[in-house]
C-alpha cells in the first residue's frame, strides 16, 4: 500500500497545492527501475525503496532469504555489486527554464556512486545520512542522450576488505561475529554483518524513500504597477497546512529538515529543569530555495491551546539549492497552559498537540516596504507561505547521574555512589521495558503495521521504555521519509525510547574520514528526533565503554584505544549531540560507570570507590544452575540489559524449515540458526552453536521435565516451548529482584530485558517471535511489569522464603496478600491472608521464613506441593490483582499429575480452560499458524497465558487478533493447549 501511495504522491500534491505553485514533490518509486549485477548476467525489475535481495526474491532469482540455510547459500549476493537504474525523464521532461530539480535520498545502503544523465553526482558511504543534490544542470545536458538516474552499489563486504587492507588501517583488537573486522569502517547497520541473535545478509539498496523535488521562482500573477510605483506587493493566499514538511515543499522551497524541540526556559542537557518555568518551543528548518527572502518569518500555532507565536523573524533566505540554509525561531508558553505528556502508565498518559509551522517569505525583493528611498518598479510578490502540521508534546525527561546527597543517603539508607535513573516531569519513576533490535534483516520490507504491533505489545505488557540498540539503525519518524513509523507511534502510545548512536561492541578507529561522515549523520538524526516527546536520552553506543576499559588494562598499547574512545565518545559525539538539543541527556555508552563530571563532561571509567554503586549494569549468566541465585544478580541503580536465549515456537519453525528431519532440537538447520556464541568468521554451520544449544538444554533439564515423547514433532515443539518457559522464569525472577531494589540500598529504578523483538526464526533472546507471535516471556513480563506485584523470593542455600509486594506507583498502595498451598493433584492444603501497604516506589515484606520445616505444610515433601501467591489492591481508583507461584523444588522433580485439561470455546474467540485432573503448571494456549494476536484474561483484559491451572479454578481467556497482520481468520478448532505435563506425555 505504501509504494502505491507514493507513486501517486505527485498527483495528490497537485490537488492540495495552490494552482500557481509549479514545483512538485515526486516519488522515485513511480519510475521503472531495474537491478543488475556487476557483469550484467542478472537484470531484473526492481523497486524503490528496496534492497537487492528483495528484488531478486521478487524476480524469482532467489527464494525467501530467511528460508532454511539461505543465510549461507545466498552469500553470493553479498559478494556482488548491484546497480539500480531508472529513466528519470518521466519526472524531468517538462521542467521549465527556471526550474531546479533536486534529488532527495532519505537512505542509501551503503557504498554507492550516484549518476544522473551520465554525469557523476556523488559517491556516498553512510547509510544513516540523507542526501540532497541539485541535478538540474545534469538533466539539461545529458551525456549521449542518457536520461537515467543510476545508483551503483559496491559490496560493503569487499569495500571493507579493501579499506582494512590499507597499510594505514588500524585493526580493532576486539572479536567479531560473521563478517569480521570490517564493520567499524563502514557507516552501516552493524548487525548486518552478523550478530549472536541474527543472520548476516549485508544487504544493499535504496532502502528508504527517495524523491525528485522541483522548485520554480514564484510567478508574477498580477500586472505590475507603473514603473515608478512605490506600492507594496499584495500578500499571497496561504495554502492549507501540509501533513509533513516534505509535502509543504515544492513551489520555491524545499524543507529538507525540520526540528521541533520543547524544553524548559533555562534547561540544558545536563541541568535539572525548573518545573515551574515557561516552556521553550524551538523550531529549526533546513531549507533550499530558488527565491530569496530578506525578512522571512516563522509562525507556530497550537490550535488546541489557541496559542500562536505570531511572526518570528529568522535569518534571510538566500537563493541556494546546493546547500542548506538553517532558520531557527523560539517562543515561550506558560507552564500551566498545556497538559503534559507522560508514559502510558503514569499520571495522565501521553498527550500530544498539533503544531502548525508556517514559513512566510516577506519582502523577497530586498527592499523594506517602508523604505522611502525605493524607486523603480514594484518588487515581485512574495511566494505564498509554506505551512505544515506536526505533532509533539510537553514533557521534561532527565537522566539523573549526579552523586546522592549525604542527607538522602542517611535518610533512606542508600548505598553511596551516583544516581542513575530517569525523571519525567520532575518525578522519579520505575523504568520497565526491553531492548529492540532491527525488525528485519531487510529494512525496506518493514511496515508500520508490523512495527506498531511490536510497540503495542510492549505497552500491553506494561513496558514504559524501549532501548533502541546502538548496533542497529536510527529508527524512523514516519513512513514518508523512513518507510515506516516508529517514534511517532511511541509518542502516541506513551512509551519512552532510549536512543543510541550506531556504534556497537567494537573499538572504532579515529580518522578524519570517519569524523567527517559521522558528524552530519548524528546531527541530522538528533534534529529529526527532537520533536518526539518519547525520546528519553542519547547514548553514544552499545557496550563499548566496558570493552575499552578491558583493552586498556590488558594490552600494552591499551591507552591508545582509550584515547580514541575518549575522543569519539567523550568529546566529538557528545559535542555534536549537545549542539543540536538541550532537552535530553547524553551518555557515552549504553552500559556505563557514569560520570565524574557533567560540565565539563568527564567519563568515570574505573575511577570508583570500593563499595559504592555507579552507573548502570547488565547480566548475562549462561550457567543455568545460577539462574535463580540472587547473589549473582547485580546490585545496580539501573539494569539496561539482561537475558537468556530460547528457541522460537514450532509455528515459527514451520515458516522456514523445509524437510521433516529438520524438526529436531539439534538438527543441522536448527543448530545453524543458533549464533550464540558467534562463529567469529564465515565458518558454517556455526562451530560454536553447540555451546548455545547446550546452555538451553541444561536449563530445561535442570528446571523442567525433560521433553521426551513418542511423537517426534511434539517432542521438538515441547523442547522449543520449554526453552521459552525457562527463559521467562529466569527473566521474571530478575525483574522482580531489580524492582524490589527500588526500596533497598541499591535504589534500583530500571529494568530493561534483552530483548523484545526478533529479526528471524532462530535462537535468540526475544520475547516476541519474528512473525509477531508472543513467546512465554512476553506474557511473563505482562505479569511482572504490572503496577503492583507480589513475588516469592526463594534462597535455596539458606532455605529462606521472602514474600514481597512491590509497587511502582507514586502514591501508597494498600491491599491484601493471600498465600495458598496446594498439592499437585489440586487439593488445597492451607492458606493465609495478610494486609499490606506499600509506600511510593517501594516494597513491603509480607513473609520471611527460614527452614523448609517452617515453610512447607506439615507432613509434605518439597516435590509434592507448591504455593499460589496472589494479591488484590486498589490502584488508580480501580481494583487490580496479581499472582505468582512458589515451587520449593525444581519442576523437573515435581510429582506432577495429569491435568486432563478441558478447553471450551465460546463467542468472540473466548476459551475456558478447566483442569479435570491435577494442576497444570504453565497451561498454555497456542493460536493457529498464520494468525497474530495475544490472549487476555476475559474479565480484566490483562494479557494472560502460561499460568498454573488449578482444578476448580477455571480460567477464561480471549484471543485478541491483529487482523491487519493475520494471514488467516482464526478458527477456534485450530487452537491448541499444552502444559509441562506434555513434555513427557502425549
Instruction: Lay out the sheet containing 427-428: strands in order across.
Output: 397-400, 421-424, 427-428
φ, ψ of residue 883 to 5 degrees: the values are: -145, 150
In our burial notation (b when 16+ CB lie closer than 10 A, e otherwise), range 842-876 reads bbbebeeeeeeeebbeeeeeebbbbbbbebebebe
Per cent of the chain over pLDDT 90 is 91
pLDDT of residue 238: 64
pTM of the model: 0.94
φ, ψ of residue 152 to 5 degrees: the values are: -95, 110
Q: Is 512 helix (H, G, I), strand (E, B) or coil?
A: helix
Cβ-based neighbours of 615, under 8 Å, separated by 6 or more: 418, 420, 591, 592, 593, 594, 604, 637
Query: What are 161's three cell numbers?
Result: 576488505
Residues facing 101 on adjacent strands: 214
The span from the CA of 911 to the CA of 904, in Å, is 6
Q: Is 515 helix (H, G, I), strand (E, B) or coil?
A: helix
Query: What are 701's three cell numbers?
Result: 533439564
The span from the CA of 462 to the CA of 464, in Å, is 7
The span from the CA of 83 to the CA of 153, in Å, is 6
pLDDT of residue 171: 85
Residue 583 Cα distances to 265, 275, 401, 493, angstroms: 10, 13, 15, 20
Alpha helices in 741-805 (DSSP H): 776-784
pLDDT of residue 7: 35
Cβ-based neighbours of 424, under 8 Å, separated by 6 or more: 342, 343, 346, 395, 396, 397, 496
Can you tell me which residue has the cell 519518524? 477
Query: What are 131's three cell numbers?
Result: 542526501
pLDDT of residue 788: 98
CA–CA–CA angle 305, 309, 310 (5° rounding) = 125
pLDDT of residue 219: 63
**CA end-to-end span of the chain:** 45
Catalytic residues: 543
pLDDT of residue 380: 62
Provide the strand spans (E) within 437-501. Answer: 465-468, 496-500
For residue range 618-674, list pLDDT tens digits in order. 999 999 999 999 999 999 999 999 999 999 999 999 999 999 999 999 999 999 999
pLDDT of residue 377: 57
**Under-70 pLDDT residues of the chain:** 1-23, 219-238, 363-380
Cβ-based neighbours of 336, under 8 Å, separated by 6 or more: none
Q: Residue 27's CB: how many other CB atoms inside 10 A? A: 21
Amino acid at each position: 500500500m505504501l509504494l502505491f501511495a507514493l507513486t501517486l504522491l505527485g498527483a495528490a500534491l497537485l490537488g492540495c497545492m495552490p494552482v500557481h505553485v509549479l514545483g512538485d514533490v515526486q516519488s522515485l518509486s513511480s519510475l521503472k527501475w531495474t537491478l543488475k549485477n556487476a557483469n550484467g548476467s542478472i537484470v531484473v525489475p526492481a523497486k524503490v525503496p528496496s534492497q537487492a535481495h528483495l528484488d531478486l526474491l521478487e524476480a524469482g532469482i532467489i527464494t525467501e532469504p530467511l528460508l532454511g540455510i539461505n543465510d549461507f547459500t545466498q552469500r553470493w549476493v553479498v559478494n556482488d555489486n548491484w546497480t539500480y537504474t531508472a529513466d528519470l525523464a518521466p519526472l524531468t521532461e517538462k521542467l521549465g527554464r527556471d526550474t531546479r530539480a533536486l534529488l532527495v535520498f532519505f537512505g542509501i545502503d551503503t557504498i554507492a556512486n550516484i549518476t544522473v544523465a551520465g554525469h557523476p553526482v556523488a559517491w556516498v558511504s553512510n547509510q544513516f545520512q540523507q542526501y540532497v543534490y541539485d541535478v538540474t544542470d545534469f538533466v539539461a545536458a545529458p551525456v549521449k542522450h542518457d536520461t537515467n538516474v543510476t545508483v551503483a552499489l559496491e559490496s560493503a563486504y569487499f569495500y571493507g576488505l579493501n579499506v582494512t587492507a590499507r597499510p594505514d588501517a588500524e585493526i580493532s583488537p576486539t572479536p567479531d561475529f560473521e563478517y569480521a573486522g570490517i564493520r567499524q569502517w563502514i557507516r552501516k547497520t552493524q548487525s548486518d554483518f552478523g550478530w549472536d541473535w541474527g543472520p548476516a545478509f549485508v544487504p544493499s539498496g535504496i532502502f528508504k524513500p527517495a524523491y525528485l523535488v522541483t522548485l520554480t521562482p514564484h510567478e508574477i500573477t498580477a500586472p505590475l504597477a507603473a514603473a515608478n510605483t512605490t506600492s507594496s506587493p499584495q500578500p499571497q493566499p496561504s495554502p492549507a497546512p501540509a501533513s509533513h514538511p516534505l509535502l509543504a515543499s515544492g513551489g520555491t522551497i524545499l524543507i529538507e529538515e525540520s526540528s521541533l524541540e520543547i524544553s524548559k526556559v533555562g534547561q540544558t542537557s545536563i541541568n535539572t529543569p525548573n518545573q515551574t518555568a515557561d516552556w521553550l518551543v524551538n523550531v529549526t528548518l533546513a531549507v533550499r530555495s530558488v527565491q530569496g527572502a530578506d525578512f522571512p518569518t516563522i509562525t507556530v500555532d497550537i490550535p488546541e491551546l489557541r496559542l500562536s507565536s505570531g511572526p518570528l523573524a529568522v535569518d534571510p533566505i538566500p537563493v541556494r539549492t546546493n546547500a542548506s540554509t538553517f532558520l531557527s525561531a523560539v517562543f515561550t508558553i506558560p507552564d500551566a497552559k498545556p497538559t503534559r505528556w507522560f508514559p502510558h502508565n503514569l499520571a495522565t498518559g501521553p498527550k500530544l498537540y498539533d503544531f502548525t509551522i508556517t514559513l512566510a517569505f516577506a519582502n523577497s525583493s530586498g527592499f523594506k516596504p517602508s523604505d522611502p528611498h525605493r524607486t523603480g518598479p514594484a518588487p515581485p510578490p512574495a511566494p505564498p507561505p509554506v505551512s505544515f502540521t506536526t505533532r509533539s508534546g510537553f514533557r521534561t525527561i532527565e537522566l539523573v547521574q549526579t552523586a546522592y546527597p549525604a542527607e538522602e543517603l542517611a535518610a533512606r539508607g542508600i548505598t553511596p555512589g551516583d544516581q542513575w535513573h530517569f525523571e519525567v516531569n520532575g518525578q522519579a519513576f520505575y523504568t520497565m521495558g526491553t531492548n529492540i533490535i532491527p525488525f528485519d534483516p531487510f529494512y525496506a520490507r518493514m511496515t508500520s503495521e508490523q512495527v506498531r504491533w511490536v510497540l503495542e505489545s510492549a505497552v500491553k505488557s506494561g513496558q514504559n521504555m524501549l532501548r533502541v540498540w546502538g548496533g542497529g539503525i536510527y529508527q524512523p519518524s514516519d513512513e514518508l521519509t523512513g518507510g515506516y513509523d516508529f517514534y511517532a507511534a511511541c509518542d502516541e502510545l506513551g512509551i519512552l525510547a532510549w536512543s543510541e548512536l550506531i556504534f556497537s561492541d567494537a573499538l572504532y578507529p579515529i580518522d578524519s574520514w570517519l569524523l567527517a561522515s559521522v558528524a552530519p549523520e548524528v546531527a541530522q538524526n538528533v534534529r529529526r528526533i527532537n520533536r518526539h516527546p518519547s525520546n528519553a536520552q542519547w547514548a553514544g553506543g552499545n557496550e563499548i565503554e566496558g570493552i575499552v576499559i578491558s583493552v586498556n588494562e590488558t594490552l600494552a598499547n591499551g591507552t591508545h584505544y582509550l584515547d580514541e574512545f575518549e575522543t569519539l565518545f567523550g568529546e566529538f559525539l557528545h559535542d555534536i549531540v549537545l549542539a543540536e538539543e538541550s532537552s535530553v541527556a547524553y551518555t557515552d555508552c549504553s552500559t556505563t560507570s557514569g560520570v565524574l563530571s557533567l560540565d565539563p563532561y568527564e567519563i568515570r571509567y574505573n575511577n570508583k570507590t570500593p563499595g559504592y554503586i555507579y552507573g548502570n549494569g547488565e547480566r548475562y549468566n549462561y550457567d543455568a544452575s545460577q539462574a535463580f541465585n540472587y547473589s549473582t544478580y547485580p546490585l545496580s541503580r539501573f539494569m539496561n540489559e539482561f537475558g537468556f536465549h530460547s528457541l522460537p515456537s514450532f509455528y515459527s519453525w514451520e515458516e522456514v524449515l523445509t524437510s521433516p528431519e529438520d524438526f529436531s532440537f539439534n538438527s543441522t538447520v536448527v543448530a545453524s540458526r543458533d549464533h550464540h556464541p558467534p562463529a567469529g568468521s564465515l565458518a558454517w554451520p556455526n562451530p560454536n552453536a553447540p555451546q548455545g544449544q547446550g546452555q538451553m538444554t541444561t536449563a530445561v533439564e535442570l528446571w523442567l521435565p525433560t521433553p521426551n515423547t513418542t511423537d517426534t514433532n511434539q517432542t521438538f515443539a515441547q523442547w522449543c516451548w520449554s526453552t521459552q518457559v525457562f527463559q521467562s522464569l529466569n527473566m521474571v525472577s530478575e525483574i522482580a529482584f531489580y524492582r524490589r531494589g527500588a526500596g533497598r540500598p541499591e535504589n534500583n529504578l530500571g529494568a530493561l530485558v534483552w530483548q523484545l523483538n526478533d529479526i528471524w526464526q532462530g535462537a535468540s533472546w526475544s520475547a516476541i517471535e519474528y512473525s509477531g507471535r508472543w513467546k512465554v516471556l512476553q506474557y511473563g513480563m505482562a505479569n511482572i511489569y504490572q503496577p503492583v506485584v507480589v513475588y516469592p523470593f526463594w534462597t535455596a542455600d539458606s532455605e529462606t522464603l521472602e514474600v514481597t509486594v512491590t509497587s511502582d506507583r507514586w502514591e501508597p498502595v494498600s491491599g491484601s496478600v493471600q498465600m495458598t498451598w496446594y498439592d499437585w493433584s489440586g487439593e488445597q492444603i492451607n492458606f493465609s491472608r495478610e494486609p499490606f501497604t506499600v509506600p511510593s516506589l517501594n516494597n513491603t515484606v509480607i513473609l520471611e521464613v527460614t527452614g523448609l520445616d517452617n515453610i512447607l505444610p506439615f507432613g509434605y515433601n518439597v516435590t509434592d506441593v507448591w504455593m499460589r501467591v496472589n494479591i488484590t489492591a486498589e490502584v488508580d481508583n480501580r481494583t487490580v490483582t496479581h499472582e505468582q507461584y512458589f515451587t520449593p523444588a525444581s519442576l523437573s522433580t515435581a510429582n506432577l499429575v495429569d491435568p486432563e485439561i478441558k478447553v471450551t470455546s465460546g463467542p468472540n474467540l473466548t476459551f475456558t480452560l478447566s483442569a479435570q485432573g491435577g494442576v497444570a503448571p504453565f497451561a498454555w494456549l497456542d493460536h493457529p499458524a498464520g494468525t497474530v494476536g495475544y490472549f487476555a484474561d476475559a474479565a480484566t483484559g490483562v494479557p494472560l497465558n502460561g499460568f498454573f491451572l488449578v482444578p476448580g479454578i477455571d480460567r477464561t481467556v480471549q484471543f485478541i487478533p491483529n487482523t491487519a497482520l493475520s494471514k488467516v481468520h482464526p478458527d477456534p478448532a485450530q487452537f491448541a493447549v499444552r502444559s509441562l505435563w506434555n513434555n513427557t506425555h502425549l
